[in-house]
Each structure stands twice: as C-alpha cells, then as structure tokens.
Amino acid sequence: MVFPAVEKEPAMSEPKPLSFHVPAPAVRPGGTPDFSDVKISRAGEVERPPVDVAPEKIREHAFRIIRVLDRNSQAVGPWAGLLSDTELLAGLRHMMTLRAFDARMQMAQRQGKTSFYMQHMGEEAVSCAFRKALEPGDMNFPTYRQAGLLIADGYPMLDMMNQIYSNELDPMKGRQLPVMYSSREHGFFSISGNLATQYIQAVGWAMASAIKGDTRIAAGWIGDGSTAESDFHAALVFASTYKAPVVLNIVNNQWAISTFQGIARGGSGTFAARGLGFGIPALRVDGNDYPAVHAVAKWAVERARRNLGPTLVEYVTYRVGAHSTSDDPSAYRPKTESDAWPLGDPVLRLKNHLIVRGVWTEERHKQAEAEIMSEVIAIQKEAESHGTLHTGPHPSARDMFEGVFEEMPPHLRRQRQQGGV
Amino acid sequence: MPRKTMVEAIRDAMDVCMQRDANVVVFGEDVGYFGGVFRCTQNLQQKYGSNRVFDTPINESGIVGAAVGMAAYGLRPCVEIQFADYMYPAYDQIVSEAARLRYRSNGQFTAPLVVRMPTGGGIFGGQTHSQSPEALFTHVSGLKTVVPSNPYDAKGLLISAIEDNDPVIFLEPKRLYNGPFDGHHERPVTPWARHPLGEVPDGHYTVPLGKALVRREGAAVTVLAYGTMVYVAEAAAEETGIDAEIIDLRTLLPYDLETIVASVTKTGRCVVVHEATLTSGYGAELSAIVQENCFYNLEAPVARVTGWDTPYPHAQEWDYFPGPARVGRALKAVMEA
C-alpha cells in the first residue's frame, strides 16, 4: 500500500473553539406554524414489500410515510383495500367513541370529579386501527395514550370510567392514577405511568411466547420523547438478538410535554431509523390515516406471527390536545399549530373516505355523533352513581393493604391494624 | 449426605426447579454456555437447552425488564445479575415494575421472578464488585429480600424463592461461595466439604422465606446477622468468650419478628452487624425493630457494626470490612454498658 506523502495532505487550520448545539423547534408561541420540514410521501407511493423481506432491502421505508387516503379521500396504492365497508365503519365509530369519551372525561376532570386525565385528540386512529390487526391472546404493552386499544376491542367503557373516578367499582381498587388501565382479557398490559419500561417487557412477553412454542405475539408502545430512554434501546437489542415476535410501535405525536421531538430524535433523521442499526425492519406510517395504520400493523403483526421477528413502526401524528390536564400547550407552541398539521384529522379523513365510498353521509355522521355522545353520557351517569374521586364512595382503606404480596406478610398486617382498618 | 459448595447448592436449586416446572427459565450475562462467572449455572444450558438457559446482552434493565414480561406471560424467570453492584440499571424495572405489578393491576398481572446477584465483599473486588445493596430492596414495598449464609439454606431458600408468586431478590454472599468466612482473611479457607452446613440433600426441599434461625444459642447478648457476618459474629463470640446468641436472619423482608423479639427479650442486649454502609442501612431498621419491641428489656443501647459510610475500597478492604475484632469490641461494649 502506498501512503500519500505527508506534504500533499491539506493543511489543517487551527481548531476554533467548540460550540454547543441545542436543537429548537422551528416555531414557538406567537409564530406562524411551519411543518415544511415534515416530508410527506404521496398516498399510495410507498411500496408494500413481502413480509419476509430482508430488512436491508427496505431501509428507505424508515424515511418515507406510508399513506393510503389521498387528498380526494380515495384509498390508493399497495397498502389499500384490506378493510371492508363494515370494518371501516366500525373503525370510524371507535374513533368517534374515543373522542366523545375524551371530551366527557376531560370535562369531568375540570369539574373536579377526578384528579387527572389524558386525552387522545388527533391520535385516535393509531390505537383504534392497530387493535384490529391483533388476535385474541396477543398482548399490548401500552402507554397512557392508547385507550383506543380498549375501545376498539369492546372493553366496557363503564370500567374505564370507574377507574378514572377511582370509585367503588374501580377495577384497580383506587390504586392507580386515572387512565392507567389494565385488562389481561383484552390484551392490555397494566400501564405503569413510568416511561419506556413497558417496551422491554413487551419483548420479554414475546420471548416467552416463543420459548413456549405458542403463537401469541406482543406489541410494545412508546412515545417519541421516551425513545430516548435506555429501556427503548434494551428492547431493540433484545428484540433484535432473539428475533422476538413483537411489534415495536413509536407514536410520534411531535411533542413530549413541552419538548419538541427534535430533542429525543437528535441526528437520527426519523425515529423509525433507530431500528436500522439493529437490523429491525422499520416503517413509517401516516398515523392519521386509519386504513394505512391498520395495513402497516397487519404487515408487522404477520411478520411476528410467522416467526420473522420484530418490526419497528413509527406513527407520524400530532398531539392536538394538551399532554394531560396538568399541561397548557399555549406556553410552548403556537395555538394554531394543530390546524396547520399537514396530515389532517383522523376522524374527518376516514369519514370523508366513507362518504366517497358511498357508505356514509354527513347526515349519518351527525346522527352518529349525537348517538355516541348520548351513550357515553349515559355510561358516565352510571359510573358517577358508583362514586367519583371527589364525592366517593372509594375503595376502602383496607383495600390499600391488599395485593402488595400474594399473602399479606406480618409487618403489613401490623401496619393495617395500626392504621385502624 | 452429599456435600456441596454454595455454588453447587444454588445450581442444584435451579436444576431441581427446572426439572419440576417447564416454566422456569434462567438467563443473564455469561450464564448460558459458560455457566456464569461464578459457575452457578454451569451445565444447565447443556441439560435444559438454550430455550430455557441463555446468555443475554449486557443490559441489566433489559434482563429484568424482559423477565417481568415473561413472568406476566406465565414463566418463572430466575435471572442473574453478574454482581449486585451492576443492578442499578435494572433498579427501575425492579422497583417500579416487578415490585408493583401485582398491586397496580389488582392481581391481573404478577411478576413471579427471582433476581439472583452475588453480594458483599471479601474478594478484593473494589467498589464495583463488593457492595451490599440489600437496604435498597428492603425499602421497596412488594419485594422479598433473601440472603443465605450456607449451602443448605441457599438451596432451600432459592427453591422457595423460585416457587414464590412474588418477586424475590436473592443476594448471594460471594465470599461464602466456596466456604464459610469469619473475617480472618489471613487464614486458609475452610471448604464447605468440611463444614456441617455443606451437607445438602438431593432433590426438592425448601427453607421457608421469612423465617430466621438461631445459629448459636447464648444468654448474654443477641447478634442479628445475615450472610457472611454470621460467621464473623461466631468468631467474635468465640474470641471474646461472650455468650452471644447469633441469629441468622436469612430473609430480610419479610423479617422474622418473633425470633428477634424472643431472643432480645431473653438476652436484654443486641448488636446488629452487616457489611453494608451504616447510615440508612438495614441495621437501622433492625435497631428500630428491637427498640420498638424490646425497649423495656434492654440493658444497653443497641449497637451496630457495619461497613463505613465510604465507597467500598480496594487496598483498604480489611480496614473497611467489619471483621471479628470490631464485632468483638462491640460485644464487649454492649456487655459493659
């Protein structure tokens, strides 16, 4: 090997002082919303590879956005056509139900009936459509913003409200913050309220299914901000190493409380691209496009089910509401930013698609909205008849000591006696 | 009866459990093909296959987090953290997840898992191979914490831990793996093969969690100890000639209040010993338990002999380790008070 002569190397200038880089969003309150940096693929343009595709063949999928519904509300391209009219109409109803449920629970918190609530506005398609790609026996390891998984699976809304009110029928016995649901029967793992811990647990659950030679698969959920947590990387390395039958979902709703997604994303380009170094196929999908979310979920679920290993999916969406009832987004982003979000509203987009298909009308939509709202209000009244956090009745103080262990150890028994319960 | 080292007894416990229950799985760093850096899982992969015994990436949070998911599925993971000093990345999964899953889901999901980790000093391991973090676990609601002191107990307690339906932290005093250690580091090691507690029955038996054992009966003073410090306390009692009653706690949580109270009520004096640092250590809890329950029987303040509140040093290991001389001085002081 011949090395170039030293004197031919370009002369290095004296290094300048280093500078520190802190990413910042394009716009802050008072500015004009600007999403020009969000590169949107045309509906139908991203190809649908076979599920056994080699991950390195679809690296570009981590940088594009799979979309089905176009500007004319038509379903187009290779990811379209999986759902029947009936299924799409059910999907619309699930999203509308979630939205009505959110509106009532948000208001109930403002009325002091509970301490806390977290709504889904703008993100309804992600969890509602994903649920329909799973089979009974599969398990979600959700965050606090996937209640659509429960609603789309027919989990009783009364139980959700009882949990939110911590009332006498609360399935969690008053032990958990509102919205931290749990339902083994409906494939919904207990929500921690911690961040990212559930991601590696989903991988462990999937590994267990493979160890036992079962056919069940798991789905992990995480937000854009929490992908920075160590447990996200633990999950990816374990999933990659053991080819676990798991779908790893990242819901990129642009905001981690007040922190824009660039802080967690860093120089990665996209969140989906995080999967590439692990050899995990990574897809991005329009999270506000119900048929697209469902089609991508189906693809990833099938890969897992056929023992082809994990898939990383980034749902590109927008958190229209506040992070929680304890948050005020006008302090950190323009008030009109959600109107400028280029991927629109998931409910409106599916509604318009169904109208174009000729199976839905404006009138029926209005009627359905009213019906759903009155159903939700009726359930809310029933839940409130069993108590709210404010008025009670609550699970008893005695319940507080139960369930720490399978059998109550002596020191807890003594403390319960001291507590006089 | 067959004699086993503590390593062999621990391995035997996993072997027995894996034989009886196909849901028991074992994994961690280097535990598969190689059988663990302390050899506690040697040959288990060969016997049960890599489906049930396997190596993991170096990621403690991943090991425990995956175990939580597996336990929720219905398996009984018995995982190894290579040294207790390495458990901190897994602490969130232990404290916020494994320990609380039953409670927060109202029993829908549980975490019947065991996290084994070598603990304690005495092997010139420096700061990162010598710590005794038991108080970080006993402080957490929803965890059981076990520290065996001999091969017989190690096997029986580990079987109990694996069969338990709640998460158990199983701390193995690494200085005891090959023989009892009384703190006289200059003397040759007595192997378990020549110690009565090295007798370990074959097959299945259990030592119940939550039960202490009086290792040495005495009338003058009660010593509350666990792990390596049981032998240090025995040496101190022999060398001072003080008729100490030595209690091996075995399980730190749930603790055996009755055995502690019965002994201190009898002796009227109490010395608490552990290797871990003093302040907010488990000894503080023991000391509080004794004064709350035995105050009117006490002839002297409860004394604590522990590691100093410094990081675990390397060259100064024997200045740090609470050996028989320090324990002996405390026994004398308590007797003279």
Summarised one tens digit per residue, pLDDT across range B207-228 is 999 999 999 999 999 999 999 9
ipTM of the predicted structure? 0.97
Q: Please answer yes or no on whether A234 and B61 come within 8 Å at the CB atom.
A: yes
pLDDT of residue A86: 98
Residues 222-251 of A with CB under 8 A from B: 230-231, 233-235, 237-238, 241
Range of B325's domain? Answer: 213-336
Mark whether A197 and A305 lie in a shared domain: yes
Residue B206 lies in a domain: no
- pLDDT at residue A136 is higher than 90: yes
Percent of chain B with pLDDT strictly greater than 90: 99
pLDDT of residue A93: 98
User: Where do the H-state alpha helices sit in A43-146?
Assistant: 85-110, 124-131
Q: Pairing mode, if any, of strands A218-223 and A139-141?
A: parallel
Indicate which CATH number applies to the domain containing B187.
3.40.50.970
pLDDT band at A2 (very low <50, low <70, confident <90, very high): low
pLDDT band at A38 (very low <50, low <70, confident <90, very high): confident
pLDDT of residue A162: 98
Question: Quick one: closest CA in B to A185, which residue?
Answer: B108
- Tell me if chain B has a CB within 8 Å of the CB of A403: yes
Mark whether A369 and A409 lie in a shared domain: no
- pLDDT at residue A368 is higher than 80: yes
pTM for the model? 0.97
Residue B288 parent element (H or E):
helix B282-294
Cis peptide before B201 (omega within 30 of 0): no
- Tell me if chain A has a CB within 8 Å of the CB of B267: no
Mark whether B191 and B250 lie in a shared domain: no
pLDDT of residue A37: 83
Rg (alpha carbons) of chain A, rounded to whole number: 24
Residue B205 lies in a domain: no
Question: Quick one: closest CA in B to A170, which residue?
Answer: B106
Residue A88 lies in a domain: yes
Indicate which CATH number applies to the domain containing A285.
3.40.50.970
Mark whether A127 and A168 lie in a shared domain: yes
Report which residue type is found at B147: V
Q: Pairing mode, if any, of strands A311-316 and B213-216?
A: unpaired
8 Å CB contact between B132 and B139: no
Residue B270 parent element (H or E):
strand B270-277
Residue B48 lies in a domain: yes
Across B145-157, average pLDDT: 98
Closest CA to A388 of A131, A136, A187, A104: A104
Could you tell me the CA-to-CA distances from A402 to A286, A325, B86, B145, B169 in Å, in that order?
44, 30, 32, 19, 21
- pLDDT at residue B319 is higher than 70: yes
Mark whether B218 and B306 lie in a shared domain: yes
- pLDDT at residue A50 is higher than 70: yes
Residue B204 lies in a domain: no
Mark whether A404 and A351 lie in a shared domain: no
Mark whether A306 and A410 lie in a shared domain: no
pLDDT band at A376 (very low <50, low <70, confident <90, very high): very high
Across A317-346, average pLDDT: 95
Mark whether A135 and A254 lie in a shared domain: yes
Across B176-183, average pLDDT: 97
Mark whether B303 and B190 lie in a shared domain: no
Across A380-388, average pLDDT: 98
pLDDT of residue B1: 85
Residue A18 lies in a domain: no
Across the beta sheet with B251-253, the strand order is: B53-55, B24-28, B76-80, B114-119, B168-173, B144-146, B251-253
Smallest CA–CA separation between B242 and chain A, in Å? 32
B173 CB neighbour count, 10 Å cutoff: 27
Rounded to 10 degrees, the C-alpha dihedral B166/B172/B178/B182 comes to -130
Mark whether A153 and A299 lie in a shared domain: yes
Cβ contacts of B108 on chain A, cutoff 8 Å: 182-184, 190
Query: How far is residue A16's CA from residue A61's CA, in Å, rounded to a whole number?
Result: 38
pLDDT of residue A268: 84
Residue A9 lies in a domain: no
Range of A244's domain? Answer: 35-326+334-390
Residue B74 lies in a domain: yes
pLDDT band at A12 (very low <50, low <70, confident <90, very high): confident
- pLDDT at residue A3 is higher than 80: no
Q: What are phi and psi of A221, to 5 degrees?
A: -130, 145
Mark whether A262 and A296 lie in a shared domain: yes
Across A138-143, average pLDDT: 98
Report which residue type is found at B243: D
Of A175, A209, A233, the CB nearest to B104: A175
pLDDT band at B56 (very low <50, low <70, confident <90, very high): very high
Mark whether B191 and B293 lie in a shared domain: no
Across A364-378, average pLDDT: 98
Residue B47 lies in a domain: yes
Residue B298 lies in a domain: yes
- A173, A186, A207: which to substitute to probe chain B, counting the most B Cβ within 10 Å? A207
Mark whether B47 and B182 lie in a shared domain: yes
Of A199, A204, A409, the CB nearest to B67: A204
Closest CA to B145 of B153, B155, B156, B133: B133
Residue B30 lies in a domain: yes
Across A153-166, average pLDDT: 98
Is B274 tagged catalytic? Answer: no
Indicate which CATH number applies to the domain containing B226.
3.40.50.920
Mark whether A385 and A412 lie in a shared domain: no
